[in-house]
Each structure stands twice: as structure tokens, then as C-alpha cells.
Chains A and B, each alone.
Chain A
Amino acid sequence: MYKLSNRLRLFSIILMVVGLVGLVLGFAQRPSSIEEVKEMMASHDSHGGGHGETATQDHGEGHGEDAHGGDAHYEHVLHQLQNKPWAALYVAAFFFFMIALGVLAFYAIQFAAQAGWSPVLFRVMEAITAYLVPGGIILFVILALSGFHVNHLFVWADPEVVAHDKLIQGKSGWLNGTGFIIRAAIFLGGWLLYRHFAVKFSRKQDEDSEGNRWYKKSFKISAGFLVFFIYTESMMSWDWIMSFDPHWFSTLFGWYVFASLFVSGITTIALMTIYLKSKGYLEFVNDSHIHDLAKFMFGISIFWTYLWFSQFMLIWYSNIPEEVTYFITRIEDYKLPFFGMLVMNFIFPLLVLMNSDFKRVNWFVVMAGIVILCGHYIDVFNMVMPATVGESWFIGISEISAVLLFLGLFLFVVFRALTKAPLLAKGNPYLEESKHFHY
């Protein structure tokens, strides 16, 4: 049995408190009127010099005064700045939720594929998916608030915008608050249901492995879940991510988000496993298990890149105006995060994890894992931010605090869930094979 150390508990609580305080600070710092925006920008100007903001502001002022006349530009910036802590909260909430969801999908695949190497890691995966419950509830609340326009995250939720927007009107059969919430409830409900029963059956199999009754049930629900998952995951990505840009659409977006969440999930399993093993809790896990996880990290990172590039290149190549704006805003305003994440999510893991021997060196895997996780945070950041805060982005107090808050919650929930069951899923029929797994 795993025992949650006091230091870890304290650490996660400190993270949550610091994150919460920072986030409240972020919300408090939002400008509430156009005058405040003007003041902020003026003070930035007088501090002056070399700051990226000055350039945007100069450009903005000229543009605003010429084209819209007067305060239209400031109002635009005001909306962006008011969105900023909300968007930061949303990105972090979604990022940690998608890690747990990726692990859940990986777990189901291990069952459905009857993998012989992974049963020793099942309890680690089950613990990570425990985050789905609190994470899903928080995400649901944020989605509900946004869907009914308490904040301005989703433009399509703003009746005033919709009234003047033919394109969104055409999509309002799908993109409306009520449908949005009902769909979110169905997705989350289905995933949580599978998670609940998968864990339950796995525990039952421990107590009563006669005839593998519970194992067979796990197998069946995993196969069923995977079918449900691939549909709902795709729709979830339209609803929760793509609808930030309701004028834009991409057909492989669901797969793209899936690759992102899958690789983050696998990386988290690897990091957790290495941590727990270093603490002496997983003596039955050997180098070969780490090697396999690292291979998955490597392979799915490349799969992610393949999808990223397929989406980017098709749109770049045909250059159709209504599609290409998506990438133009990102390349103009988010150059560093947009291309930086490509380095972090592709080139770095490609070179670091290519060598077979390196995949067995724990600190190599940990280093690659941390870079991959940061890269996929930036990936989500790139998907959400341009539509919500536009060129007013920066990674400041609200963004970092939101990450700390959810990181603390994630660590707390996951490590507490680890204490609930023995770390070895005793009754699994593939357990012996997995213990002696050797590559």
C-alpha cells in the first residue's frame, strides 16, 4: 500500500493555495473600464522601451483611431484583458483534465488489446484517472458559466454577437448554451461511468479472480468505452476547443486534440511510475516497462506532429481565407509559442528518445517528459488564447497561478487515490507476464 507522505500533501496544498491567491489576484487586476485600459497602456508606454507591448499598442492606436474612431480599439483590448484570467483558468483546467482523460483512454486500450506488459502499471493509471472526477466537475462548472455567458470566453454565447453574425447564427443549432451543457454532461458522464466501473471491476478481480469473471467484464466495458470515447472525444474537441473560433473549422481537429491528450497522459504515467519506483513502491516495475512507456511517448509525439503538420500544411497550402486566418493570427501574434511548441513536442523528444539506451535512463525520460508536458500545455494555450485574449497574451500571474492551482489539485487527488488500493493489481491474468516483462 502506498502511504501519502506529509511533505507531498503539504506541497500540493501549498501549490493550491498559492495558485488560488494568484488567480484571485489575476481576476482582481482585470481592468473594469476603458479608462483603466488607457491608463494601463499609458503607464506601459512611459516605462517604455523594447517591450513587445509598445509595438502592438502603437500599431493599435493608429489603427483604432483611423478605422473605428476613438474608443473601439480600447474596448476591444478591455474585453481581451477581462478574458485573460478566465482563459488562463480554462487552459489549465482543460490541460490537467485531458491528462487524466488520456490516461483513461490508454488504460482502456491496454485492456482491449490484452497487453501483457502493462498490468503492473494499472494501479498507477487508475490513480491518475481519479482526477477525472474533481477535474471534470470543475471543468463542467467553467463550461456552464461560459456557455451561458457569465464570462466572454465563447463568442457564440454572446447573444449580441450572434445577432450580428450570420455565420454563428447558422451554427447556433449546435452552438447554444443548452446543447453545449447537455453534451458536456453526456461526455463527462460517460467517461466517469467507465472510470467508475473499470476501477470497481479491477478491485473485484483482486478479491475474486476465479474464472476471470471481473476481468472479462473489464475487457467488455473497455471495448465499449473506446467506441464511445472516440466519438465523444471528437465532439468534445469541437465544443470545448474549436468553438473558441466559431468561424473556423477543421476536420482532423478531434484527432489532433486526441494525440495531444494521449501523449500527455502517457508521459504522466511514465513520470508517476518513475517517481513511485524511486520511492521503492513499485519493485515489480523494471527498465523494460519504462522503456515501453518512453517508446509510446516518442511514437505518439511524432503522431501528434504528423497531425499538427497535416492540419497546418493543408490549410497553408490551399490558403483559403476563411480557414487560413486561424494560422495567420497564431503566426503573427504567437510566433514563439506556436513554433516553440513544435520544438518541445517534436524535435526535442525525437532526438532525446530515439536512442534505445536513453529510453531506459530514468532522468532522460523524466527530462523529456517534463518538456513534453510543458509543450502540450503551450499547445492548449495556442488553441485557446488567440480567440479569447488575442494579441494581449502573456504568460503572467494568472496563467502560472492557474497551472499551480490545478497541479496542486492533481497531485493531491492522484496521490490520495493511490493510497486506496494495493499498487499491484493482484488478480489480473496477465500479471505474471507483466512482472517478467523483458524487452
Chain B
Amino acid sequence: MASKVIHALYNDDDVLMDAVKKVRAEHYHIEEVFCPFPVHGLDKAMGLPHTRLAITAFMYGCVGLTVAITMMNYIMIEDWPQNIGGKPSFSYIENMPAFVPIMFELTVFFAAHLMVITFYMRSRLWPFKEAENPDVRTTDDHFLMEVDAGHHDVNALTSLLSDTGAVEVKVIEKEEDNH
């Protein structure tokens, strides 16, 4: 099904922020905003929910800690408790200080790497992935707001967007929704 979206281009992040607020106040649906750099407060203005990446990182860290403890407990205490330089290997707790550096590093390792991979998967980033930006200028010095025009009066929406200081407003027919 063909759907209509409107691309409004801006060349200043302050103007963009105001435009986002105005469009939201008129209850139009903003599909996407493309920026060349992070704009502070844009997520808040668009009403995006908070990221939960930090929570996943904490859980991954717990996994890493568990891996480190079970691994060393099995190797050093249960499987072959050798006397290495007089270090006590009768129980995990007795020899724990020697394991702490590894426990720490594995916690950080798991938390960091798994969180990054989660980020890639959630934001659909991988090598050979086809770039999605609708206008090449958005990676350089332009900001683009994509507004859903499906059931609205296109002319009214276009004039609203022009009023917000857009340098360019285009109506795009999308053949296929890639969502």
C-alpha cells in the first residue's frame, strides 16, 4: 500500500527543536528525524521513551560475574585443587582475593560487549547494511523531519511545516513501508 510522508528539511537544530514541538502540539505523527549529530533534548521533545540499555548492561555484568565465579571455582577449587605457592585452595572464599581481578574484568567485559551487541541489534546496525538516510545532506549539515501524512490534509500539513522554518518541504509517496 502506498503511504504518503512529508519530508521537511531544516538547517539549524534550534529551528528543528521548535518545529518538532509545534508538530507534536498539532498531533501529527513524526515518523523519524534524521540529524548529522546528536541534538540535546530531541528525544524528550519527540516524546521517545528512555533507553533500557543500561539495565541490560547491569544484567550482562551479573552474568559475567557468575561466569567468572563458576569457572574459577570449578577449575581452581573443585577440579584440581593444587597447592600453588601456598595459596589456600580449600574453598572459594579462602582464595577469593586472587580471583577478584578476573571477576572484575569479566564483569566489565560481559557488560560492555554484550551491551554493544545489544545496541547493534536493536538499532539494526551491521556491516553491509543498506543505509537508510532519505537525503544525503542529513549526514552533513541538514536536519530532516519525516511526518506521516496518511490521513491528514496534505496542504495544511505542508504549510504548517513551511511555517516552522523548513528550508524545503517534499511530499513523498512511499511504495513499501520498510518498518
Contacts and interface: CB of A to CB of B under 8 A. Distances in A.
Contacts of B86: 319
B42 to A, nearest CB: 15
Interface string A292-319: 0000000000000000010011001101
Nearest to A356: B54
A132 B98 CA distance: 40
A356 B52 CA distance: 12
B99 to A, nearest CB: 10
A317 B98 contact: yes
Interface string B53-68: 0100010000000000
A279 to B, nearest CB: 31
Contact of B97 (A317, A354, A356): A317
Interface in A321-354: 354
Contacts of B97: 309, 312-313, 316-317
A354 B58 CA distance: 9
A354 B107 CA distance: 15
A316 B58 CA distance: 30
B48 to A, nearest CB: 17
A319 B87 CA distance: 10
Contacts of B58: 354
B116 interface: no
A54 to B, nearest CB: 27
A317 B101 CA distance: 12
Interface residues of B, number: 6
B102 interface: no
A309 B58 CA distance: 22
A425 to B, nearest CB: 27
Contacts, number: 12
Interface string B14-38: 0000000000000000000000000
Interface residues of A, number: 8
A313 B100 CA distance: 9
A102 B100 CA distance: 29
Residue among B58, B97, B98, B100 with the most chain A CB within 10 A? B97
Contacts of A354: 58
Contacts of A317: 97-98
A227 to B, nearest CB: 32
Interface in B53-94: 54, 58, 86
Contacts of A312: 97
Nearest to A306: B104
Nearest to B40: A438
Nearest to B54: A356
Contacts of B54: 356
B100 A309 contact: yes
A314 to B, nearest CB: 9
A168 to B, nearest CB: 30
A317 B100 CA distance: 12
B119 to A, nearest CB: 18
A225 to B, nearest CB: 34
Nearest to A354: B58
Nearest to A318: B85
Nearest to A315: B97
Contacts of B100: 309, 313
A321 B100 CA distance: 23
A49 B100 CA distance: 39
A312 B86 CA distance: 17
A357 to B, nearest CB: 9
A309 B98 CA distance: 11
Interface string B115-154: 0000000000000000000000000000000000000000
Contacts of A319: 86
A312 B97 CA distance: 9
A10 to B, nearest CB: 46
A349 to B, nearest CB: 15
Interface string A52-81: 000000000000000000000000000000
A354 B54 CA distance: 10
Interface in A353-399: 354, 356
A313 B102 CA distance: 13
5 contacts: A309-B97, A317-B97, A317-B98, A354-B58, A356-B54
* 5 nearest CB pairs, A to B: A313-B97, A316-B97, A317-B98, A309-B100, A313-B100
Given A313-B100, A317-B98, A354-B58, 7 more contacts: A309-B97, A309-B100, A312-B97, A313-B97, A313-B98, A316-B97, A319-B86
Interface of A: 309, 312-313, 316-317, 319, 354, 356
